[in-house]
Amino acid sequence: MDLRRCKRCLIYEMADKAAYESIKNYIDSLPAEEKSDESVYRSRLNVCKECDSLLSGMCRKCGCYVEVRAAGIKAHCPVEKW
């Protein structure tokens, strides 16, 4: 498996631990009232993992890292899958 371009992988599943740490630090810095709860977050990411638009942790519809996008309580999928 090519870990640099992995269809249907999230960043935390890939070899780039520095990128994941950066994303995790950003999510951890969000105020609690702006952050989706863990069950919503996991549910959103499970939808992304089944989506053809996910490539190497990034949504090809919006250009976001889905682990960042899913963390925002008011965030939404650009094609309304969640």
Q: Identify the H or E element spanning 19.
A: helix 17-29
* Tokens 């992988």, located at residue: 9
Q: Supply angle C-alpha 37, 32, 22, rounded to 5.
A: 85
Shortest distance in whole angstroms from residue 63 CB to ligand SF4: 10
Question: What residues numbered 10-49 form the site for ligand SF4, per CB under 6 A?
Answer: 47-48
Cβ distance 19 to 8 under 8 Å?
no
For residue 72, state whether it binds ligand SF4 (rule: CB under 6 A).
Answer: no
Question: What residues numbered 52-71 form the site for ligand SF4, per CB under 6 A?
Answer: 53-54, 59, 61, 66
Binding footprint of ligand SF4 on the chain (CB under 6 A): 47-48, 51, 53-54, 59, 61, 66, 77-79, 81
